Amino acid sequence: MGSGLWTKCSGCGEITYSQELVQNLRVCPVCGHHHPLPTRERIAAMIDEGTWEELDHELRSGDPLQFQDQKAYKDRIKKAEKNAGKGDAFASGLGEIAGVPVSAGFFVFEFMGGSMGSVVGEKVTRVFERGLERGIPVVIFSASGGARMQEGILSLMQMAKTSAARGRLRERGIPYISVCLHPTTGGVAASFAMLGDIILTEPGALVGFAGPRVIQQTIGQELPSGFQRAEFLIEHGMIDRIVSRLELREHIGLLLRMLRGELAAPQMSEPSDAAEAAEPAAAT
């Protein structure tokens, strides 16, 4: 997506006034293509105004392995904090979605590609634990390249840690909705992101463990058209529903009330024309 007064849609090629696009949650008003949405804008769009309380600000990534490739890990962290703000690749807190109190978490893809290290794993675990302590639903919006390689096995351990926390929530019967944004891959997809009571995606989102290019190179075969995209996944029973970003907050609120037994299961309408028409989204 371009910058300036006008933005050319990477889905249909139409040019839209940038401010209009922002007001439309960066969804193309012509074709419904979902452009990248900065995390702070997503929080504002998904959480009811005036209800968001961000927590766990004090957590910071260490450098337990003294890792260095082309650049020292600690220097990569400093650069990420400068670009995306402090707090690592995950924002956690309490708020309301369409009037329903929730313990919520949002991956910050702008921070090292939303990679999951020890801090992100701890924050995700705390989101589940708060839901458990308060008896309120949990909603997590995932957008990640997977485990953070600079933390080695410590990052992979977060898969088990977060999945165990999710398991304790399930034992209590407290609802958990997982929203897999573009992209949700690697260790995040292989753990709590695919363990929701209901799994939602935005149109065109890429969701899977290894990327399609890696898989194709590994098995030496052509992959089906749209492989690992939301539309492919729903056809194969891997996710529950594709929801346009413009309808997502209200849709989650409806599902939470249903899961809490406040509403009978509704006869949900089909996805909007915008969602059906949307091309695969760019990285969120």
Is position 186 within any domain?
A: yes
Of 222, 203, 212, the C-alpha closest to 284 is: 203
Q: Using CA atoms in the order 202, 249, 100, 105, what is the torsion angle rounded to 10 degrees?
A: 50
pLDDT single digits (tens) 12-41 = 999 999 999 999 999 999 999 999 999 999
- Structural domain boundaries enclosing 140: 37-271
Is position 280 within any domain?
A: no
**CA gap 116, 185 in Å, rounded:** 11
Mean pLDDT of the chain: 92
- Where does the pLDDT of residue 269 fall: very low under 50, low under 70, confident under 90, or very high at 90 and above? low
Residue 51: give its domain's CATH number. 3.90.226.10
- Confidence (pTM): 0.90
220: left (phi over 0), alpha (psi -120 to 50) or beta: left
pLDDT number for residue 277: 47
Quote the number of domains for the chain. 1
**CA gap 51, 103 in Å, rounded:** 11
pLDDT number for residue 260: 84
Is position 155 within any domain?
A: yes
- List the structure tokens of 236: 């194969």
pLDDT number for residue 279: 45
pLDDT number for residue 213: 87
Is position 27 within any domain?
A: no
**CA gap 66, 74 in Å, rounded:** 8
Residue 261 has pLDDT above 90, yes or no: no
- List the structure tokens of 48: 């009811």
Average pLDDT estimate for 166-191: 97
pLDDT number for residue 281: 44
- Where does the pLDDT of residue 212 fall: very low under 50, low under 70, confident under 90, or very high at 90 and above? confident
Is position 93 within any domain?
A: yes
Residue type at 239 in one-letter notation: I
- Where does the pLDDT of residue 175 fall: very low under 50, low under 70, confident under 90, or very high at 90 and above? very high
Is position 252 within any domain?
A: yes
Is position 3 within any domain?
A: no
Q: What are phi and psi of 242, to 5 degrees?
A: -105, 125
